[in-house]
A and B are shown apart, each in its own frame.
Chain A
Amino acid sequence: MSKSYTPGLKVVRDAKVSKERRLPLKGNVHVNIDDIVSSDTIIASTEIPGNVQMINIANQLNIDPNQIENCMLVKINDNVEKNQLIAQSKGLFGMFKTDVKSPIDGKIINVSNITGQVVVSEHPIPINVDAYIPGKVKDVYNNEGILIDSIGTFVQGIIGIGGEKQGKMHVLVDNPSDKVKISSITNSLKDKIVVCGSYIDLEIYKKAKSIGVKGIVCGGIDYNVISEILGYSLGVAITGTEDTTTLILTEGFGNINMALKTFNILKENNNKDVSINGATQIRAGVLRPEIFIKSDGSGESKDFKENDLVISIGSIVRVIREPYFGKIGKISSLPYELDQMESETKVRVAEVKFEDSTKKIIPRANLEVILSS
């Protein structure tokens, strides 16, 4: 049988999670295999090249480019200070010399006798990579990074903004359909990661941000609100570099309740330390936002396999497109033949029995397997 895979999001307890932590460029790794790391341990660091400035020496000294080496007072790889003399013309009878000074503190990285230009680079910018999640170092990639293994609750959202954050999680509502009130956003939430149940508006986000809330997890938000937060329209879902309070939507755009299972699993972990990341990349190599809470390791760890994402009779699924968007049900039949929809599109379908016992025919592509435990 051919298999219908769905873009199922993970909502699991005691999941075995492996995280690669890599440097953007080669550098130094500070931990070893089997080391235990906490989420804020610096595991590797490197330096990225500093900004550069180009000086057209040939122009400034009024000489041909191939003569500049005769006028240079410093060499490639020499460190220079701001206003240090780096080139000087020969002048006339040793007089009327023209000077060129370095505009910055840095290093000479290129002297070109073809273009007559000298490139000075500012000092390198240090980059540190932390562990992001607590766990054990499984593997070390020489000069590049590490692989961390951990066991804990792992919840994927559908889209997020903002990068990695760590903090204590605080669930603000009692039910997944509850909407958080603006009065609930108080100064006590500073540095926390808050769970808001259903839908939030711009006012709530702004207040949370002004207080210093590190992250927000909720069911839905209007697309226009995301654009207002970002200051531009989110054209393609590639996020994570925004310098703002991280926001993770578990369901999608609009006024949508958080799925009960997701809400319950988050509620169980109220007041625990969590690591979240809003980075999303919905393109090849899909990356979904995530929430991780390390468990004590007493539960049985689970791994998900390819077949877990295959729709089969009995699978619990969520409809991810109108007209039944958000409804949860169980697959009761998987007809082999193509079926014609109201839109006249002929597609492979599934019969889904919803929680209210009604049955509907839904395109298989519009279903998402709920991976949970």
Chain B
Amino acid sequence: MVDLKNIKTILATDCGSTTTKAILIECINGEYRLTFRGEAPTTVEAPFEDVTRGVLNSIIELEELSGKKILDGEKFINTSSENTDGIDIYISTSSAGGGLQMMVGGVVRSMTGESAQRAALGAGAIVMDILASNDGRLYHEKVKRIRELRPDMVLLSGGVDGGTVSHVVELAEIIKTANPKPRLGMNYKLPVIYAGNNKAQENVQDVIGDISDLLVVPNIRPTLEEENLKPSRDKIHDLFMEHVMAQAPGYNKLMEWTDFPIMPTPGAVGEIIKKISEVENISVVGVDIGGATTDVFSVFNGEFNRTVSANLGMSYSICNVLSEAGVSNVSRWVPFKIESLKLTNRIANKMIRPTTIPQSLEDLKIEQALAREALKLSFIQHKEFAVSLKGVQQERTISDTFDQKMSGETIVNMKELDLIVGSGGVLSHAPRRSQAMRMLIDSFLPEGITQIAVDSIFMMPQLGVLSTFHEKAALEVFHKDCLIKLGSCVAPLGQYKINQDLLQYEISTDEKKYKGHLKYGELLLLPISSGKYSCVIKPNRNVDIGFGKGNDFIGEIYGGEVGIVLDGRGREIYFSADENERINQILEWSHQTNEYNKEEINV
């Protein structure tokens, strides 16, 4: 094990499904900073079929940019006192090879089934299906489904401790009957983690002990009121390394190279989101929009949730975004006229050549239109999933008569949300930061006052894995080099009449006082740089900016690289039904927020 005190140079890679990103973190004057970054296409596919080719290429790019030698052939050079070349430690995350694909099972779909899903998602897996005693499918349909999906791993839960045994055993019997073969490699037994009723452990062992590699962990839902996800998540991480990664092309070699276990990319991003919320004591929503999937993370009142929208992404699954959102919802964000046939063909061509990038402004605008819809759909899915535990008995007093909350309600409260962090190519690499800010606002529809930030160059996965053993280095880099605070969004809730006065604002910076009115339908940008500024917002009496109708906000607000956006477009955003008017609307919003070059806005 490496001594943390001696770590001065850290090399970290993230092997994504499209590109492999390498970053170099160095300790300069006692402070850890990101110094260089390189990237190269991921090489899990033919003709290379070896993930380490892409890793080496991304490192070679780092070497070229930094002028520092890291590799001696295919071996890392270790730092030494007489040589400034080399590294002290190498770590990696991975989502290549399709990530970790799991099936989960529980007796009641909305209770133990969802708890199992939460555990799997939290560990960074894609949940292919939830098997439940009450999911409405017949026995043979479930068997067929398991056989077809061939998951990498199964997490079986069900029943509270001391609860139902027969239903849990029935699920085990279904797995036994299906006897699924793992997706990768024919010669090893399917790993099954049992995290259900402790009284059924022996029975489950009897049923599937022979046909699977069964591992028993403490119950995921020991009582209805309690969820215990950690043992299952930890076991999933272990098995991910031992089974799944070991089968993917080139990973055996990569595993030998790394000094700490390789983490699934989404699991690592989740780690860093949790850290931000914990250190700053705020509620956070994070999103990582990738080529194939979009992950959404949230922490509200200390409760962490992650969802993965497996087929909402910007390249491999871009057509699925089109299909789920509908052509009209995508094209409403496009500020020019384009035939639907031409639009769909262009988008489909991105799907089949996923590594291409938009060269023309027109193409960029189409991609950013799609990103808005992909983010929006993913966030809707997240809100539906991030709910309080279902099935919990609520104790109510007379004071709750008019404010009764059901179990199973979403815990994502937009008015309480303090910070949205965006990550992933389309956000981190947007040519202008204002574009990233607009995409996040247009899709997440923050209410009240919310800070917006992006991962500068998409390094949250690497920092996530770093945070598991070197929190200081991870947080220093995160605050200084990773997180770019774009500013804040002030958005009244609800819908009003066009041009109706919504609020008055007054924000004072050292140089200038920003003062004015916001009308319904308007989008304004105040170019206020990073820092905290005193602010007074006085909404009209029927307008709510998150503190109740007509209630003022007097306090501090954050500026940022983009500034403070005053969003009077309503929640949901109002679009004109007339195409020409809609285009003008979008062009005006773009103009106001400095989204594109002024002369190019009319492309």
Contacts and interface: CB of A to CB of B under 8 A. Distances in A.
Contact of B47 (A53, A306, A368): A306
Interface string A49-79: 1011110000000000100000000000000
B550 interface: no
A16 to B, nearest CB: 12
B292 to A, nearest CB: 6
B313 to A, nearest CB: 9
Interface in A202-247: 222-224, 226, 233-237
A144 B186 contact: yes
Nearest to B19: A365
Interface string A122-138: 00000000000000000
A36 to B, nearest CB: 26
Interface stretch (A92-100, A165-173, A266-274, A338-346): A338-346
Contacts of B49: 285
Interface of A: 1-3, 5, 7, 24-26, 48-49, 51-54, 65, 109-110, 112, 114-117, 119, 121, 144, 158-159, 222-224, 226, 233-237, 252-254, 280, 282-286, 304, 306, 309, 320-323, 325, 341-347, 362-363, 365-366, 368
Given A2-B38, A119-B139, A286-B46, A366 B177 contact: no
Contacts of B167: 115
B43 to A, nearest CB: 7
B57 interface: yes
B60 interface: yes
Contacts of B597: 344
B354 interface: yes
A115 B352 CA distance: 48
A361 B475 CA distance: 40
A224 to B, nearest CB: 6
Interface in B392-414: none
A335 to B, nearest CB: 14
Interface of B: 17, 38, 40-49, 53, 57, 60-61, 64, 96-98, 138-140, 143-144, 147, 165-167, 169-170, 173, 176-177, 179, 181, 186, 203, 207, 249, 292, 311, 316-317, 319-320, 322-324, 341-342, 344-364, 429, 431-432, 596-597, 600
Nearest to A281: B45
27 contacts: A3-B60, A5-B40, A25-B181, A26-B186, A51-B143, A51-B144, A109-B177, A110-B173, A112-B169, A114-B169, A115-B170, A223-B345, A224-B341, A233-B319, A236-B317, A252-B348, A253-B348, A284-B45, A285-B49, A320-B349, A322-B346, A341-B359, A345-B359, A347-B357, A363-B359, A365-B355, A365-B356
Contacts of A48: 147
A255 B173 CA distance: 52
A303 to B, nearest CB: 10
B49 to A, nearest CB: 8
Most buried by A among B49, B207, B358: B358
Given A109-B177, A254-B349, A343 B341 contact: no
Contact of B319 (A236, A252, A285): A236
A253 B61 contact: no
A276 to B, nearest CB: 18
B173 A119 contact: yes
Contacts of A222: 341, 344-345
A52 B49 CA distance: 38
Nearest to A116: B166
A121 B176 CA distance: 13
B139 A284 contact: no
B359 A237 contact: no
B355 A283 contact: no
B316 A65 contact: no
Contacts of B147: 48-49
Contacts of B600: 342
A223 B317 CA distance: 14
Given A25-B181, A52-B177, A119-B177, A322 B363 contact: yes
B265 to A, nearest CB: 12
Contact of A235 (B64, B169, B317): B317
B360 A233 contact: no
Nearest to B362: A322
B432 A235 contact: no
Contact of B357 (A223, A235, A363): A363
B356 A321 contact: yes
Contact of A284 (B97, B319, B348): B97
A115 B169 contact: yes
B354 A344 contact: no
Contact of A117 (B173, B319, B341): B173
Contacts of A363: 356-357, 359
Contacts of A284: 17, 42, 44-45, 96-98
B355 A7 contact: yes
B144 A345 contact: no
B196 to A, nearest CB: 13
Given A110-B176, A223-B345, A283-B316, A7 B353 contact: yes
B58 to A, nearest CB: 8
Nearest to B65: A2
Contact of B311 (A26, A112, A224, A236): A236
B400 to A, nearest CB: 41
Given A285-B97, A286-B46, A322-B359, A344 B316 contact: no
A306 B144 CA distance: 40
B17 A321 contact: no
B166 A343 contact: no
A114 B179 contact: no
Contacts of A304: 47
B349 A285 contact: no
Nearest to B321: A235
Nearest to A119: B177
Contact of B359 (A2, A309, A323): A323
Contact of A365 (B349, B357, B363, B596): B357
B203 to A, nearest CB: 6
Nearest to A368: B353
Nearest to A159: B352
A20 to B, nearest CB: 11
Contacts of B324: 235
Given A7-B353, A65-B166, A223-B345, A285 B177 contact: no
B251 to A, nearest CB: 12
Given A284-B98, A322-B346, A322-B363, A309 B356 contact: no
Most buried by A among B38, B49, B165, B186: B186
B359 A342 contact: yes
B170 A252 contact: no
Contacts of A368: 353
B292 A283 contact: yes
Nearest to A10: B47
A233 B348 CA distance: 11
Contacts of A26: 186
Given A1-B64, A236-B311, A341-B359, 4 more contacts: A1-B60, A253-B348, A254-B342, A321-B349
Nearest to A254: B345
A2 B40 contact: yes
Given A2-B60, A7-B353, A285 B98 contact: yes
A5 B186 contact: no
A253 B46 contact: no
B344 A114 contact: no
Nearest to A346: B431
A309 to B, nearest CB: 7
Nearest to A223: B348
A322 to B, nearest CB: 5
A286 B170 contact: no
B165 A252 contact: no
Contacts of A3: 40, 57, 60
Most buried by A among B38, B316, B353, B360: B353
Contact of B352 (A158, A235, A346): A158
A286 B42 CA distance: 11
A226 B344 CA distance: 12
A119 to B, nearest CB: 6
